[in-house]
Structure 1
Amino acid sequence: MRTALAVALALLAAPVVAQDATFEEQMEARFQPPPPGWEMPRTQWGDPDLRGKWPVDYLGRTPRERSPALGERAFLTEEEYRRAFDRAQGDLDRYEEENEAGLMAMGHWAEFGHPLRQSSMIVEPANGRYPPLTPQGEEWRANERTSWNTYVFENMDDFGIFDRCLTRGMPGSMLPGAYNGGIEIFQSPGLVVITLEMIHESRMVYLDGREAPPADVQYDLGFSRGHWEGDTLVIETTNFRPGMSMGPAPNSDQLHVTEHLTLKNDNQIHYEAWVRDPVVMEGHYKLDLPWLREDDYGMYEYACHEGNVQVRGYIMSTSPRFADERAAAWEAQGVENHVSEPVR
């Protein structure tokens, strides 16, 4: 059933316009025009009503960065899109194949959906890629340690923020991962709350005009203040804790994210985010995506590694400091040809 829904959502999100249409026309074509006489739904206190579930798992096959081969082409051709769509559908078919075979593998684990016609989530710079890193950004990226580039774990610093299930940072928390892509919006007078299924975080967006806290008061997802510009919710987020971003490099405390959320019809939000970090990047990048409503989406607990034992397990099983303990454990099991040192 999820596969059928994903197909319907993907077709809804694919702009059907001439290939020679302007960039602006193709961007607007991602959204269904509201029916005649449609009016912006509003809360009891008069704000545009964004409440509901807007899972982004269906965006998982749209790359964050554009392939260099596409240059400044922001949209795929019909042929390119069909090939990308068919590849994604082949992966989605793994679910039914695993069911028939009595297996549970990546077909059940991953929730990627289909690609959009736009060739990348990033639309600025024009090449659809992160801007160049500063020397400081290059240094931080080179020294970042996570389970993707580390094989011997000595202490907590050898694990990334995602490894430890702390956060996906900003703007990564607003973008699809491999699964658990739920986003739900709640509203009350003076406050918008954005709840994230992945790592079960909630962003509090204050609309009451309060000032940001002092710069040394920092948060994993920053401190968010919002206001309405017409029917668009504008969110300014600052006060980030350094090293919490899963972007092109770990972020500094100067990270600044500006987001726009605009309800285009009853079932689509236009999501835009401008990301700046002058310590890390030379310039900014912009994300631009259509969100789709799915109010029957199930928001599940994100337990990550249950029992919180995996970090300790990685250290015990790879660090040379525990080679004797590993050898003794193998010996106790009667295994002679054990490997006492980690495979690198």
Structure 2
Amino acid sequence: MISRLPFKRALAVLASTVVLAACSSVPQSPSSSEALGGKPNFNGVWEMLDMAKVVRPEQGTPPYTPEAAKLAAEFKSWDPKKDDPSLYCDLKGMPWMMLSRARTYPAEIYQTAERVDVFFELFDTSRSIRVNGKPAPKNISPSINGYSTATWDNDTLVIKTTALAERLYPSPQIRSEKAELTERWKMVKDPKEGDLIEIDFEIVDPVVYTRPVKGKQVFKRAAPDVVVASYNCPEKLWLKHVDDRRAQGKAAAK
């Protein structure tokens, strides 16, 4: 005899079956130190520890070149509320994706012995770090997060990032294609917070800075119920465009 479930219940059963099948096919990141070659385990969901501990290259009085100084000065003359780049889904990329001061936007790290992937809720972006020490391929196209490769210095993950797309326009965050980033990730134990990832940056960009500049971030593990969700920034831009078009239509009809 064929059982006939109510339509809504049948859909719920089907949905749960699909979810279970999907979950069973998703690879799980290794949780043991042995699976990671005895190296620190960065797997999990992380968030900024303290805004005051974040250091960004544009803070204070950066050693800008004349070209970069003009761009920074032009942006400062604009309205900081109306001209906030985040309102336009401006994808800053590296190093700023790792130097976010927004505690409410977590990041998830998926680590294996061969690579480290970071998934950011902010702007729905990600970066891949290849743990092989090889330089970027010669034919790689510049991108906002560039090409990252890493090696281990004892228990410190040293990451080199190149092939970054330029940002030579008025903005608080300026970068040229000659930029090269070095990150040093170190796992430390805090008696209050538990696991922390301390990340020190050095940014070399001869088009933007007259000397190397520094950056700093400290991540703490997020609460167990925190997940990396979706930011949906482009949708907000489209809805604003829809509102503007409707307003124009109403004005034209008068």
TM-score calculated relative to the size of structure 1: 0.54
Equivalent position amino acid for 2:153 in 1 = E
Q: 1:131 aligns with which of 62, 67, 76?
A: 62
Shift in Å, 1:291: 2.0
Q: 2:151 aligns with which of 205, 227, 248?
A: 227
Query: Structure 1: how far apart are the matches of 2:78 and 2:44?
Result: 34
Q: Which whole-Å deviations, capped at 9, do the CAs of 1:49-69 have from their partners, x for residues lacking one?
A: 11112211x423x2xxxxxxx
Task: Label 1:195 to 1:54 Cα distance change in 2 as closer, same or farther (>3 A).
Answer: same
Task: Label 1:315 to 1:277 Cα distance change in 2 as closer, same or farther (>3 A).
Answer: farther
Alignment of 1:284 onto 2:212? yes
In structure 2, the partner of 1:271 is 199
Q: Which consecutive aligned stretches of 4+ in structure 1 deviate over 4 angstroms post-superposition?
A: 142-151, 244-249, 313-317
Q: Summarize the alignment of residues 1-80 of structure 1 with structure 2, pairs less than 5 Å apart.
A: 42-46=33-37, 47-56=39-48, 58-60=49-51, 62=52
* Identity across the alignment (%): 24
Alignment of 1:196 onto 2:124? no
Alignment coverage as a number of residue pairs: 217
Q: Which whole-Å deviations, capped at 9, do the CAs of 1:2-54 have from their partners, x for residues lacking one?
A: xxxxxxxxxxxxxxxxxxxxxxxxxxxxxxxxxxxxxxx72414132111122
Task: Label 1:295 to 1:179 Cα distance change in 2 as closer, same or farther (>3 A).
Answer: closer
Q: 1:121 aligns with which of 55, 65, 84?
A: 55
Shift in Å, 1:165: 2.2
Gapped regions of structure 1 (runs ≥ 5): 1-40, 63-115, 152-157, 318-324, 335-344
Q: What secondary structure sits across from 1:55 in the alignment?
A: strand
- Cα RMSD after superposing both structures: 3.6
Task: Label 1:311 to 1:142 Cα distance change in 2 as closer, same or farther (>3 A).
Answer: farther
Structure with more contact order per residue of length (Cα contacts < 8 Å, sep ≥ 6): 2
Task: Label 1:171 to 1:311 Cα distance change in 2 as closer, same or farther (>3 A).
Answer: farther
Q: What secondary structure sits across from 2:151 in the alignment?
A: strand
Task: Label 1:148 to 1:184 Cα distance change in 2 as closer, same or farther (>3 A).
Answer: farther
Question: Given that residues 137 and 249 in structure 1 are in contact (C-alpha distance below 8 angstroms), is that contact kept between their aligned partners in structure 2?
Answer: no
Shift in Å, 1:285: 2.0
Task: Label 1:219 to 1:315 Cα distance change in 2 as closer, same or farther (>3 A).
Answer: farther
Q: 2:109 aligns with which of 185, 203, 208?
A: 185
Query: Structure 2: how far apart are the matches of 1:219 and 1:138?
Result: 23
Q: What secondary structure sits across from 2:185 in the alignment?
A: strand
Question: Given that residues 167 and 244 in structure 1 are in contact (C-alpha distance below 8 angstroms), is that contact kept between their aligned partners in structure 2?
Answer: no
Shift in Å, 1:217: 1.9
Shift in Å, 1:203: 0.8
Shift in Å, 1:239: 0.6
Equivalent position amino acid for 1:241 in 2 = A
Gapped regions of structure 2 (runs ≥ 5): 1-31
Equivalent position amino acid for 1:299 in 2 = V
Equivalent position amino acid for 1:329 in 2 = K
Shift in Å, 1:129: 2.9
Question: Given that residues 144 and 250 in structure 1 are in contact (C-alpha distance below 8 angstroms), is that contact kept between their aligned partners in structure 2?
Answer: no
Question: Given that residues 129 and 159 in structure 2 are in contact (C-alpha distance below 8 angstroms), is that contact kept between their aligned partners in structure 1?
Answer: yes
More strand, by proportion: 2
In structure 1, the partner of 2:229 is 300
Task: Label 1:244 to 1:311 Cα distance change in 2 as closer, same or farther (>3 A).
Answer: farther
Equivalent position amino acid for 2:41 in 1 = D
Query: Structure 2: how far apart are the matches of 1:136 and 1:201?
Result: 29
In structure 2, the partner of 1:329 is 250
Query: Structure 2: how far apart are the matches of 1:238 and 1:245?
Result: 20
Query: Structure 2: how far apart are the matches of 1:180 and 1:195?
Result: 14
Question: Given that residues 183 and 202 in structure 2 are in contact (C-alpha distance below 8 angstroms), is that contact kept between their aligned partners in structure 1?
Answer: yes
